[in-house]
Amino acid sequence: MQRLFPHPADDITLLEAYSAERPGSAERPWVSLCMVSSLDGSTVVDHTSRGLSNPTDQALLLVLRSFADTILVGAATVRHENYGPPKAAHQRIAVVSRNGDFDFDLPLFTSGKAIIVLPENAPAVPVPSVRAGTDTVDLALALSALARDFGSRIIQAEGGATLNGMLVAADLVDELNLTISPQLSGGNGSRLTVGAPASAQRMRLAHVLEDDGFLFTRYLRAR
Protein backbone atom coordinates (compact mmCIF):
# COMPACT_ATOMS: atom_id res chain seq x y z
CA MET A 1 0.00 0.00 0.00
CA GLN A 2 1.47 3.34 -1.02
CA ARG A 3 0.49 6.81 0.10
CA LEU A 4 0.10 9.27 -2.77
CA PHE A 5 -1.01 12.28 -0.69
CA PRO A 6 0.19 13.89 1.52
CA HIS A 7 3.89 12.97 1.80
CA PRO A 8 4.21 10.12 -0.74
CA ALA A 9 5.54 6.94 0.87
CA ASP A 10 5.71 3.19 0.21
CA ASP A 11 4.67 0.39 2.58
CA ILE A 12 2.14 2.28 4.65
CA THR A 13 -0.10 0.09 6.80
CA LEU A 14 -3.82 0.69 7.12
CA LEU A 15 -3.49 1.12 10.86
CA GLU A 16 -0.81 3.80 10.44
CA ALA A 17 -2.76 5.58 7.74
CA TYR A 18 -6.12 5.66 9.49
CA SER A 19 -5.13 6.11 13.14
CA ALA A 20 -6.26 9.62 14.06
CA GLU A 21 -7.97 11.57 16.77
CA ARG A 22 -11.74 11.32 16.41
CA PRO A 23 -13.11 13.77 18.95
CA GLY A 24 -16.59 12.41 19.60
CA SER A 25 -18.38 13.63 22.71
CA ALA A 26 -21.46 12.82 24.73
CA GLU A 27 -23.17 15.82 23.11
CA ARG A 28 -22.21 14.87 19.59
CA PRO A 29 -20.61 11.50 18.65
CA TRP A 30 -18.07 11.58 15.82
CA VAL A 31 -19.54 10.13 12.60
CA SER A 32 -17.21 8.43 10.17
CA LEU A 33 -18.79 7.16 6.96
CA CYS A 34 -17.16 4.24 5.14
CA MET A 35 -18.16 3.31 1.57
CA VAL A 36 -16.84 1.77 -1.65
CA SER A 37 -17.85 3.11 -5.06
CA SER A 38 -17.16 2.22 -8.69
CA LEU A 39 -15.51 4.75 -11.01
CA ASP A 40 -18.93 5.53 -12.47
CA GLY A 41 -20.35 6.17 -9.02
CA SER A 42 -22.29 2.99 -8.24
CA THR A 43 -22.28 1.56 -4.71
CA VAL A 44 -23.62 -1.86 -5.69
CA VAL A 45 -23.01 -4.69 -8.12
CA ASP A 46 -25.75 -7.33 -8.10
CA HIS A 47 -27.38 -5.77 -5.00
CA THR A 48 -24.33 -5.81 -2.71
CA SER A 49 -21.00 -3.98 -2.37
CA ARG A 50 -18.95 -7.21 -2.50
CA GLY A 51 -18.23 -6.98 -6.24
CA LEU A 52 -16.66 -3.55 -5.75
CA SER A 53 -14.36 -4.50 -2.88
CA ASN A 54 -10.98 -6.26 -2.61
CA PRO A 55 -9.11 -7.85 0.32
CA THR A 56 -7.44 -4.54 1.25
CA ASP A 57 -10.80 -2.78 1.29
CA GLN A 58 -12.22 -5.56 3.47
CA ALA A 59 -9.25 -5.20 5.82
CA LEU A 60 -9.85 -1.45 5.89
CA LEU A 61 -13.43 -1.97 7.04
CA LEU A 62 -12.14 -3.95 10.03
CA VAL A 63 -9.45 -1.36 10.85
CA LEU A 64 -12.01 1.45 10.74
CA ARG A 65 -14.41 -0.59 12.87
CA SER A 66 -11.66 -1.01 15.47
CA PHE A 67 -11.79 2.76 16.13
CA ALA A 68 -15.56 2.79 16.66
CA ASP A 69 -17.83 1.84 19.55
CA THR A 70 -20.98 1.86 17.40
CA ILE A 71 -21.66 0.77 13.82
CA LEU A 72 -24.63 2.54 12.24
CA VAL A 73 -26.26 0.89 9.26
CA GLY A 74 -29.46 1.10 7.23
CA ALA A 75 -32.02 -1.68 7.46
CA ALA A 76 -31.75 -2.59 3.76
CA THR A 77 -27.98 -3.05 4.04
CA VAL A 78 -28.43 -5.36 7.03
CA ARG A 79 -30.90 -7.40 4.96
CA HIS A 80 -28.86 -7.44 1.71
CA GLU A 81 -25.43 -7.99 3.25
CA ASN A 82 -26.47 -10.45 6.01
CA TYR A 83 -25.00 -8.40 8.84
CA GLY A 84 -23.84 -10.48 11.78
CA PRO A 85 -22.81 -9.33 15.25
CA PRO A 86 -19.67 -7.20 15.61
CA LYS A 87 -16.47 -9.07 16.58
CA ALA A 88 -15.32 -6.65 19.28
CA ALA A 89 -16.92 -7.16 22.69
CA HIS A 90 -17.49 -3.45 23.27
CA GLN A 91 -19.20 -2.74 19.94
CA ARG A 92 -22.88 -2.43 19.05
CA ILE A 93 -24.57 -2.38 15.67
CA ALA A 94 -27.32 0.24 15.46
CA VAL A 95 -29.77 -0.46 12.63
CA VAL A 96 -31.90 2.42 11.33
CA SER A 97 -35.41 1.43 10.31
CA ARG A 98 -38.89 2.96 9.95
CA ASN A 99 -40.79 -0.05 11.22
CA GLY A 100 -38.33 -2.55 12.77
CA ASP A 101 -39.49 -5.36 10.52
CA PHE A 102 -36.65 -7.88 10.96
CA ASP A 103 -36.18 -11.59 11.57
CA PHE A 104 -35.19 -11.31 15.22
CA ASP A 105 -33.92 -14.92 15.24
CA LEU A 106 -30.89 -13.85 13.16
CA PRO A 107 -27.52 -13.93 14.99
CA LEU A 108 -27.21 -10.12 14.85
CA PHE A 109 -30.37 -9.76 16.92
CA THR A 110 -29.85 -12.71 19.29
CA SER A 111 -26.28 -11.54 20.04
CA GLY A 112 -27.35 -8.79 22.40
CA LYS A 113 -25.20 -6.41 20.30
CA ALA A 114 -27.95 -4.89 18.15
CA ILE A 115 -29.81 -1.65 18.75
CA ILE A 116 -32.74 -0.70 16.52
CA VAL A 117 -33.04 3.02 15.75
CA LEU A 118 -36.71 3.81 15.13
CA PRO A 119 -39.20 6.66 14.97
CA GLU A 120 -41.15 7.22 18.22
CA ASN A 121 -44.35 5.82 16.68
CA ALA A 122 -42.86 2.57 15.30
CA PRO A 123 -44.05 -0.78 16.73
CA ALA A 124 -42.31 -2.36 19.74
CA VAL A 125 -39.23 -4.51 19.02
CA PRO A 126 -37.75 -7.31 21.16
CA VAL A 127 -34.23 -5.84 21.28
CA PRO A 128 -32.85 -2.58 22.75
CA SER A 129 -33.95 0.46 20.78
CA VAL A 130 -33.46 4.18 20.43
CA ARG A 131 -36.40 6.29 19.29
CA ALA A 132 -36.27 9.73 17.73
CA GLY A 133 -38.60 11.58 15.36
CA THR A 134 -42.07 10.78 14.08
CA ASP A 135 -42.66 8.52 11.04
CA THR A 136 -38.98 8.84 10.10
CA VAL A 137 -35.92 8.81 12.35
CA ASP A 138 -34.49 12.18 13.40
CA LEU A 139 -30.84 11.16 13.15
CA ALA A 140 -29.37 14.08 15.12
CA LEU A 141 -31.63 13.22 18.08
CA ALA A 142 -30.96 9.51 17.57
CA LEU A 143 -27.18 9.99 17.78
CA SER A 144 -27.59 11.99 21.00
CA ALA A 145 -29.73 9.17 22.38
CA LEU A 146 -27.09 6.58 21.38
CA ALA A 147 -24.49 8.67 23.22
CA ARG A 148 -26.69 9.06 26.30
CA ASP A 149 -28.09 5.52 26.55
CA PHE A 150 -25.28 3.41 25.07
CA GLY A 151 -22.15 5.54 25.50
CA SER A 152 -21.58 5.99 21.74
CA ARG A 153 -18.72 8.40 21.03
CA ILE A 154 -17.32 7.22 17.67
CA ILE A 155 -19.84 5.98 15.14
CA GLN A 156 -18.82 4.15 12.01
CA ALA A 157 -21.62 4.56 9.46
CA GLU A 158 -21.60 1.83 6.80
CA GLY A 159 -24.40 2.86 4.41
CA GLY A 160 -26.38 2.32 2.39
CA ALA A 161 -27.12 5.33 0.27
CA THR A 162 -30.47 6.06 1.93
CA LEU A 163 -28.97 6.22 5.41
CA ASN A 164 -26.07 8.26 4.01
CA GLY A 165 -28.57 10.72 2.53
CA MET A 166 -30.16 11.12 5.96
CA LEU A 167 -26.75 11.76 7.51
CA VAL A 168 -25.86 14.36 4.88
CA ALA A 169 -29.27 16.04 5.16
CA ALA A 170 -28.68 16.42 8.92
CA ASP A 171 -25.07 17.60 8.34
CA LEU A 172 -23.73 14.79 10.53
CA VAL A 173 -20.81 13.42 8.46
CA ASP A 174 -17.46 14.32 10.08
CA GLU A 175 -15.28 11.92 8.07
CA LEU A 176 -15.70 10.02 4.80
CA ASN A 177 -13.51 7.02 4.04
CA LEU A 178 -14.23 6.33 0.39
CA THR A 179 -12.67 3.48 -1.54
CA ILE A 180 -12.72 4.00 -5.30
CA SER A 181 -12.87 0.63 -7.03
CA PRO A 182 -11.15 0.53 -10.45
CA GLN A 183 -14.18 -0.56 -12.44
CA LEU A 184 -16.99 0.85 -14.52
CA SER A 185 -19.94 -1.09 -13.19
CA GLY A 186 -22.83 0.35 -15.22
CA GLY A 187 -26.32 -0.51 -13.97
CA ASN A 188 -28.57 1.74 -11.95
CA GLY A 189 -26.97 1.32 -8.53
CA SER A 190 -27.31 4.16 -6.07
CA ARG A 191 -24.52 6.68 -5.76
CA LEU A 192 -23.08 7.45 -2.31
CA THR A 193 -26.12 9.33 -1.06
CA VAL A 194 -29.75 9.44 -2.08
CA GLY A 195 -32.59 11.56 -0.82
CA ALA A 196 -30.75 14.50 0.74
CA PRO A 197 -31.62 18.02 -0.44
CA ALA A 198 -28.98 19.52 -2.75
CA SER A 199 -26.23 21.14 -0.71
CA ALA A 200 -22.52 21.87 -0.87
CA GLN A 201 -20.95 20.53 2.29
CA ARG A 202 -17.25 21.07 1.68
CA MET A 203 -14.89 18.24 2.69
CA ARG A 204 -11.11 18.46 3.03
CA LEU A 205 -8.89 15.76 1.52
CA ALA A 206 -6.86 14.10 4.31
CA HIS A 207 -5.13 11.34 2.34
CA VAL A 208 -5.05 9.18 -0.79
CA LEU A 209 -3.59 5.66 -0.68
CA GLU A 210 -3.24 3.21 -3.58
CA ASP A 211 -3.19 -0.57 -3.68
CA ASP A 212 -3.79 -2.80 -6.73
CA GLY A 213 -5.42 0.08 -8.62
CA PHE A 214 -7.85 0.81 -5.77
CA LEU A 215 -7.75 4.33 -4.29
CA PHE A 216 -8.37 4.71 -0.57
CA THR A 217 -9.40 8.28 0.14
CA ARG A 218 -10.08 9.96 3.47
CA TYR A 219 -11.95 13.26 3.74
CA LEU A 220 -12.76 15.35 6.79
CA ARG A 221 -15.44 17.98 7.36
CA ALA A 222 -13.91 21.24 6.15
CA ARG A 223 -15.54 23.46 8.77
Ligand X SMILES: NC(=O)c1ccc[n+]([C@@H]2O[C@H](COP(=O)([O-])OP(=O)(O)OC[C@H]3O[C@@H](n4cnc5c(N)ncnc54)[C@H](OP(=O)(O)O)[C@@H]3O)[C@@H](O)[C@H]2O)c1
Rounded Cα distance between 49 and 74, Å, is: 14
Please tell me the count of residues contacting ligand X according to CB under 6 A: 29
Q: Does 191 bind ligand X (CB under 6 A)?
A: no
Report the distance separating Cα 30 and Cα 153, nearest Å. 6
Q: Which of residues 96-155 bind ligand X (CB under 6 A)?
A: 96-99, 101, 136-137
Residues in region 79-98 near ligand X by CB under 6 A: 80-81, 96-98
We find the least distance from the C-beta atom of residue 124 to ligand X, in angstroms, to be: 15
Helix, strand or coil, per DSSP, at residue 179: strand
Looking at 15, 39, 47, 58, which residue binds ligand X (CB under 6 A)? 47
The yes or no reply on residue 40 touching ligand X (CB under 6 A) is no
User: Is residue 35 a contact residue for ligand X (CB under 6 A)?
Assistant: yes
Is 173 one of the binding residues for ligand X (CB under 6 A)?
A: no
- The distance in angstroms from the start CA to the end CA of the chain is 29
Please compute, for residue 156, the number of CA atoms within 13 A of its CA located in the half-sphere on the CB side. Answer: 21
Q: How far is CA 97 from CA 123, 177, 187, 195, in A?
A: 11, 23, 26, 15
H/E stretch holding 169 reads: helix 161-169
- Per CB under 6 A, residues contacting ligand X are 35-36, 43-44, 47-49, 52, 74-77, 80-81, 96-99, 101, 136-137, 158-163, 166, 190
